[in-house]
């Protein structure tokens, strides 16, 4: 393994720029993360890898959960929903989509005339011969 040294000046906003050659050596792209580790009087930068929890092996997932342990703020979802008074909207047969208000209906040209389920036409449509 070859040792490569880079001098990184610190800018006005306390930012540093990683040289292109260093980016290539570490296989980094714009938007990737670096992990800064401070040991005593020196710093070490490591490429950081983020893995979504759902992609972790089950054994590792269980280990993390065991270390986390239960928190006093942890409550079941049902309990939370009950405490905040949440009630799901009913999806029964009486549930209907929102209707267009009369003012909006006239402005948009939507007619409020209904056709009965028996197939009877409104009087205006019957007279016009439609």
What's the pLDDT tens digit per position in 27-86?
A: 888 988 898 999 999 998 888 877 777 777 888 777 777 777 666 677 778 888 888 888
Greater pLDDT, 25 or 122? 25
List beta partners, residue 46.
Answer: 35
Q: What is the mean pLDDT of the chain?
A: 74
Give mean pLDDT, residues 103-126. 51
pTM of the model: 0.38
The SS3 call for residue 48 is strand
Q: What is the pLDDT of residue 86?
A: 85
Residues in Cβ contact with 4 at an 8 Å cutoff, skipping those fewer than 6 apart: 21, 22, 25
List beta partners, residue 35.
Answer: 46
Q: What is the pLDDT of residue 9?
A: 92
Please report, for the chain, the start and end positions of each structural domain, with discontinuous segments joined by +: 53-83
Q: What is the pLDDT of residue 66?
A: 76
pLDDT score of 96 more than 90: no
Calpha distance 13→66 (Å, rounded): 40
| 25 in Cβ contact with 4 (< 8 Å) | yes
Measured over all CA atoms, what is the biggest interatomic distance in the chain, rounded to whole angstroms? 94
Distances (CA, A) of 92 to 21, 59, 88, 99, 117: 64, 43, 12, 17, 20
Calpha distance 121→127 (Å, rounded): 10
pLDDT score of 108 more than 70: no
């Amino acid at each position: 393994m070859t040792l490569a040294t880079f001098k990184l000046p610190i800018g006005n906003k306390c930012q540093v720029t990683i040289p292109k050659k260093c980016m290539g050596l570490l296989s980094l792209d714009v938007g990737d993360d670096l992990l800064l580790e401070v040991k005593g009087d020196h710093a070490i930068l490591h490429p950081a890898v983020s893995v979504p929890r759902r992609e972790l092996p089950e054994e590792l997932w269980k280990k993390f959960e065991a270390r986390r342990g239960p928190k006093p703020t942890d409550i079941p979802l049902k309990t939370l929903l009950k405490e905040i008074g949440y009630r799901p909207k009913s999806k029964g047969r009486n549930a209907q989509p929102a209707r267009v208000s009369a003012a909006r209906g006239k402005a948009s040209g939507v007619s409020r005339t209904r056709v009965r389920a028996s197939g009877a036409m409104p009087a205006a449509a019957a007279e016009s011969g439609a």
